[in-house]
Amino acid sequence: MPANTFKRAIHSGKSQLGLWCTLSNAFSTEVIAGAGYDWILLDTEHSPGDPLTVLPQLQVLAAYPAAPIVRPAANDAVLIKRFLDAGAQSLLIPYVQDATEAKAAVEATRYPPHGIRGVSALTRATRFGREKGYFDTAAQDLCVIVQIETGRALENLEAIAAVEGIDALFIGPADLAASLGFGAEQTHPDMRKIVIETLQRIQAAGKPSGLLTGDPVLQKMALAAGVSFLALGVDAGLLARSSETLLANARRLGEGA
């Protein structure tokens, strides 16, 4: 299988800029694939996506430089196995709150005796049996990212980062804001401060740090803090807001006629 360029890039010192994909189909994925982002997250936690929609998305992205990351709906070994067999090399595992859960996420990506991933020689990941050394070398090019999105996860951050096989930690600011009592106020100054402090803690623990935010202020702060990979928005949000703006602008033109 190809080398995991994303796994290498997040250690490069240059922030990798990405986009969230929730529209869950190959056509819309191809639209954004050529936009120039370093990486694209295929989300199945907050979207209708599943392994059968992710498969054609991965096939489309294979023709573009943007690196695919897949977010399973949960830290679930069966879901993780299916996405790996479909050819995903980078996974963002949601709602990891302690070292035990982080270890479970890693074990779901490793074959025995180092984990519990089920073995099949006829998967897209093995090029349907043509990659003869896949069983022994697959872990080298898998990237396991865990999501920090609760107060409990913040308390356990360093222990999570220390788990062998965890490649990066990612901040989910919406759930983290809710968990810490900020509700939907992700742009509250105190919340922004917590996010930046958390990025710095991840980096101090020796791991690449990630973040999704559409807040330009927090984006600038995160880039200044050296965030390793930053998602700038969500495809569904871009479509929703730009379609609203287009209509609002036309109505204003009509009112001024």
Tens digits of residue pLDDT in 19-57: 999 999 999 999 999 999 999 999 999 999 999 999 999
Q: How confident is the model at residue 2 (pLDDT cuts 50, 70, 90)?
A: confident
Q: pLDDT band for position 112 (50/70/90)? A: very high
Q: What pLDDT does residue 255 have?
A: 85
Q: Model confidence at 5, in pLDDT bands (50, 70, 90)?
A: very high
Of all residues in the chain, the percent with pLDDT exceeding 90 is 93
Domains of the chain with bracketed CATH: 5-255 (3.20.20.60)
Cis amide bond preceding 68, omega within 30: no
Q: Would the CA dihedral through 205, 182, 49, 65 be positive or negative?
A: negative
- Helices 189-204 & 216-224 angle (0-180, nearest 10): 30
pLDDT over 90 at 185, yes or no: no
Lowest-confidence region among 36-40, 81-85, 147-151, 181-185:
181-185
Sequence-distant (6+) residues with CB within 8 A of 78 are none
Kindly tell me if the per-residue pLDDT of 239 is higher than 70. yes
In this predicted structure, what is the pLDDT of residue 184? 85
- Res 254: pLDDT: 84
**Amino acid letter, 168:** A
Phi-psi region of 132 (alpha: psi -120 to 50; beta: other; left: phi over 0): alpha
Catalytic residue among 11, 46, 114, 188: 46
pLDDT mean over 11-15: 94
Position 117: which residue type? R
Residue 194 in tokens:
């917590």
Instruction: Report CA 132 to chain centroid distance, whole Å.
Output: 29
Please compute the mean of the pLDDT values over residues 212-229 and round it to a whole number: 97
Do residues 84 and 58 lie in contact, with contact meaning Cβ atoms separated by under 8 Å?
no
Percent share of the chain, pLDDT over 70: 99
The contacts of residue 241 (CB under 8 Å, 6+ apart) are none
Alpha-carbon distance of 230 to 90, in angstroms, equals 15
Q: Going along 101-208, which residue ranges are E strands?
A: 143-148, 168-171
What pLDDT is recorded for position 243? 98
Mean of the pLDDT values across residues 227-242?
98
Question: What is the average pLDDT across 51-66?
Answer: 98
257: pLDDT strictly greater than 70:
no
46 a catalytic residue: yes
In eight-state DSSP terms, residue 141 is G
19 beta partners: 40
Which of these ranges, 32-46, 65-79, 80-94, 124-138, has the smallest mean pLDDT? Answer: 124-138
